[in-house]
Amino acid sequence: MTRKYFGTDGIRGKVGVPPITPDFLLKLGWAAGQVFANEGHNFVLVGKDTRISGYMFESALEAGLTAAGVDTRLVGPMPTPAIAYLTRTLHAKAGIVISASHNPYYDNGIKFFSAQGTKLPDEIERKIEAYLDLPITTVESSKLGKAKRVVDAAGRYIEFCKASVPTGMTFDGMKIVVDCANGATYHVAPHVFTELGADVITIGAEPDGLNINEGYGATSPENLVKTVLEHQAHFGIALDGDGDRLIMVDHKGELVDGDELIYIIAKARLKAGLLSGPVVGTLMTNLGMELALKGLNVPLLRANVGDRYVIEMLAEHKGMLGGENSGHIICLDKTTTGDGIIAALQVIAEMQKTGLSLHDLKSGMQKYPQVLINVRTAQKVDLTHEGIQQAVRAVEQSLGTEGRVLLRTSGTEPLIRVMVEGRDQSDVENYAKQLANDVKQAIAA
């Protein structure tokens, strides 16, 4: 049975366009309440990022949960991974995050966490969807749910983050730029690094409901690069709107992406004898990371794109570290989901242990040039089409063992994503353009 509303990371879309409407969120709160009524403790935890529509949807969800007879605990703007942590430690029935992550303010979405702080299993999402097809009923007045605010949520999460580095370790002497993307980490991330002793310069920490991810954060690191160089900082940290992504910038102003950060953490864990199982990346993980890990005798497995699939593969193969080049980094020895602050702390801890700069730590991995071209389609395309496969084989033959080709359809847009990776930038660009053109011709034929 396919899911009608849930995608790979909850439900997401443009505000005011179904299903991201107040009436649907009311119904979703009620449906979730029906499913979670007998789970965990006695309430559902609800958090959000800083986009303006979060207030509207928070009220709608609360009303739906209340009608189902389920209590609600509201934490206000908090990072997505904080909700996962608090759901688990407060013994909630479930956690709900109102966020569209790295998207602009006019989008929004809903993510769910189980009582264990993990993403919901497919069968639970299907149960919620089944209730969405039923009319709303309201429990009798004496059994209506109640809503309260959790006043110490931020403090709890800050302490949890700080505890993820070795006891007694401080970041004294480090000058750090922290970019909060005008999102949910604005009142959390600066405190974590300051309380660990760093000299923190904060940017992107003035949310107004409309500026989330706009010109700041993991998807727009230009201001971070500029500020790191301006202040001669040791490095910079860019989080996204809901705090589950991390991109860093070294003292030279060079970006350090998710693949390079995972490599740094993997090498550190291996050296400390703490790495178990394979590292899990995705189909988009850079070939350079695979080869660097191979040099350490660490296997890399590739999951489908999406941190949900990375986490599933980690569980299946008893791994503890994985993620995506976009900056979703999952350290299962520290928490249950992707967490930008936790991942940053693991990298900084290794800098402190070794005395090496971020630039030095990333140098063990040489990224291969990777070119991605989107080919727009008017209809669904069969990627096993002989014309497309013939074009792929031709490029693969030219690259030999020094490169990689990947074609995949977008899950959200009518696009075929054409990716070519290899040692030489100009060759990769030419092969990608050639393959994209061949795909267009095959579609038109």
Task: Indicate which residues carry an active-site annotation.
Answer: 101
Q: Where are the alpha helices (DSSP H) in 112-203?
A: 122-132, 153-162, 189-195
H or E stretch covering 409:
strand 404-409
Q: Are 380 and 403 in contact (CB under 8 A)?
A: no
Q: 80, 106, 109: which is closest to 95 by C-alpha?
A: 80
Name the one residue in this structure whose structure tokens are 């020895």.
333
Q: What angle do CA 177, 240, 14 make, to 5 degrees?
A: 150
Whole-angstrom Cα distance, residue 16 to residue 22? Answer: 8
Q: Are 340 and 218 in contact (CB under 8 A)?
A: yes
Q: Are 362 and 286 in contact (CB under 8 A)?
A: no
Q: What is the CB neighbour count within 10 angstroms for residue 271?
A: 13
Q: 362, 268, 249, 255: which is closest to 321 by C-alpha?
A: 268
Whole-angstrom Cα distance, residue 182 to residue 84? Answer: 21
Contacts 24+ apart (CB under 8 A), 298-307: 298/266, 298/270, 305/408, 306/8, 306/9, 306/282, 307/9, 307/244, 307/337, 307/338
Pairing of strands 147-149, 94-98: unpaired
Q: 183, 370, 170: which is closest to 288 by C-alpha?
A: 370
Q: Are 245 and 101 in contact (CB under 8 A)?
A: yes
Whole-angstrom Cα distance, residue 354 to residue 348? Answer: 10
**What dihedral angle (degrees, nearest 10) is formed by the CA atoms of 351, 186, 311, 422?**
-60
Q: 50, 80, 46, 75: which is closest to 245 by C-alpha?
A: 80
Q: Are 239 and 217 in contact (CB under 8 A)?
A: yes
**What dihedral angle (degrees, nearest 10) is formed by the CA atoms of 195, 351, 202, 161?**
-50
Q: Are 255 and 229 in contact (CB under 8 A)?
A: no
